Amino acid sequence: MENEMSKTPKLQAMLGAKCPRCRRGNMFEGGAYRLGANRINIHCPGCGMLFEIEPGYFYAAMYVSYAFNVAEGVGICLLTWLVTGNTDSPWLYLGTILIGLVLLSPLNFRYSRVILLYWLSPKVHYRPELDKPPIPKHD
Ligand SMILES: [Zn+2]
């Protein structure tokens, strides 16, 4: 029986950093800005998928993260220019970029891995049959 109500939209699952296979389990433990808790889970708590598909898989996330940083750097530059209209001091731009990228780094860490698993991993597929509310545990 098809139950359309239980399907998690892809964008919602990506924003919530959910497992790409079941879109239910959290990829990370803790919130992005909880110090020391921004760690990726080894297995999906929902369907048991091994997130690090092969050893060192997340090294590839560095490239995604790099692209994020470049895009954010350009964005911060533009924003700084729009707000201050500064055309004299390169230090203002370097400063805002540095601070901005440090503040954004927990999100880069998280979403570079999300993008890697959702868009750049041909072996990972959404399995709607796993996209179900967790079975209540009986003690
Ligand atoms: Zn899962």
Its domain, for residue 71, covers 4-130
Residues 106-133 have pLDDT tens digits of 999 999 999 999 999 999 999 999 998 7
Considering the domain boundaries, does residue 112 fall inside one? Answer: yes
Q: Is the model's pLDDT at 12 over the cut of 50?
A: yes
Considering the domain boundaries, does residue 61 fall inside one? Answer: yes
Q: If you measure from the C-alpha of residue 18 to the centroid of ligand 1, how many angstroms do you get, rounded to a whole number?
A: 7
Alpha-carbon distance 51 to 124, whole Å?
10
Residues 34-62 have pLDDT tens digits of 766 678 999 999 999 999 999 999 999 99
Q: For tokens 């929902």, name the residue.
A: 46
Q: If you measure from the C-alpha of residue 29 to the centroid of ligand 1, how many angstroms do you get, rounded to a whole number?
A: 14
Q: Is the model's pLDDT at 1 over the cut of 80?
A: no
Alpha-carbon distance 20 to 16, whole Å?
11
Q: If you measure from the C-alpha of residue 9 to the centroid of ligand 1, how many angstroms do you get, rounded to a whole number?
A: 14
In terms of Cβ atoms closer than 10 Å to its own Cβ (0-12, 13-18, 19+), residue 52 is middle
Q: If you measure from the C-alpha of residue 101 to the centroid of ligand 1, how many angstroms do you get, rounded to a whole number?
A: 30
Alpha-carbon distance 69 to 102, whole Å?
10
Q: Is the model's pLDDT at 95 over the cut of 60?
A: yes
Q: If you measure from the C-alpha of residue 130 to the centroid of ligand 1, how many angstroms do you get, rounded to a whole number?
A: 7
Q: How far is CA 128 from the centre of its chain?
A: 21
Considering the domain boundaries, does residue 106 fall inside one? Answer: yes
Q: Which residues surround ligand 1, an ion (CB under 5 A)?
A: 19, 21-22, 25, 44, 46-47, 49
Contact yes or no for 136/33 (Cβ under 8 A): no
Considering the domain boundaries, does residue 135 fall inside one? Answer: no
Q: If you measure from the C-alpha of residue 98 to the centroid of ligand 1, how many angstroms do you get, rounded to a whole number?
A: 35
Residues 17-39 have pLDDT tens digits of 999 999 999 999 878 887 666 78
Please give the structure tokens belonging to residue 85: 């209209």
Read off the pLDDT of each residue in 85-105 and give the average, rounded to a whole number: 94
Number of domains in the chain: 1
The region, left, alpha or beta by phi > 0 then psi within -120 to 50, assigned to residue 36 is: left
Considering the domain boundaries, does residue 137 fall inside one? Answer: no
